[in-house]
Amino acid sequence: MNSLILLRGLPGSGKSSLANVLCEDGKYPIFSIDDFFTNTETSVYKFEFDKNHLAYKQCEEETKNQLSKNCEKVFVANTFTIGWEIEPYFKMARKYKYKLFVVTVENYHSNKNIHHIQQEQIEKMALKYKIKLF
């Protein structure tokens, strides 16, 4: 059975790094809302809050496209701190009959986030972060 693997965690936790390890040297696609804000030529990241909704939509569409092509494994690395961010992926997994995995990545390595998000903002995100254990 094909798998949709959602990697979630706060900024700096290592979601993208783990996705890069798991995708077997690019064999499987990885999507993230960060892709929208990263210049493909220069790899420079520039977040624009007013375009955030477009980033979410692009990530969902790219994921849906791969699921509809019956890709064996698809990875999505986003914070997924609140329900509306993750719910579309649950629906896609059901629709395309993918086994769904949600992996929470924790920052035990004390890494800093590469997008220079302020600690105060990360702490606000942490307050909204819910983990479903059962």
What pLDDT does residue 116 have?
Answer: 76
- Whole-angstrom Cα distance, residue 95 to residue 105? 26
Domain segments of the chain as ranges: 3-128
With residue 26 as reference, give the H or E element that holds it. Answer: none
The SS3 of residue 93 is helix
Per-residue pLDDT of the chain (134 residues; tens, 9 = 90+): 999 999 999 988 999 999 999 999 999 999 999 999 999 999 888 888 899 999 999 999 999 999 999 999 999 999 999 889 999 999 999 999 999 999 999 988 877 777 778 889 889 988 888 888 88
Q: If you compute the radius of gyration of the chain from its CA atoms, what whole number of angstroms results?
A: 15
Cα-based distances in Å from 128 to 39, 66, 95, 110 = 29, 30, 28, 20
Task: Give the C-alpha separation, 20 to 26, whole Å.
Answer: 7
CATH C-level class of 3-128: alpha beta
46-55: b (≥16 Cβ within 10 Å) or e: eeeeeeeeeb
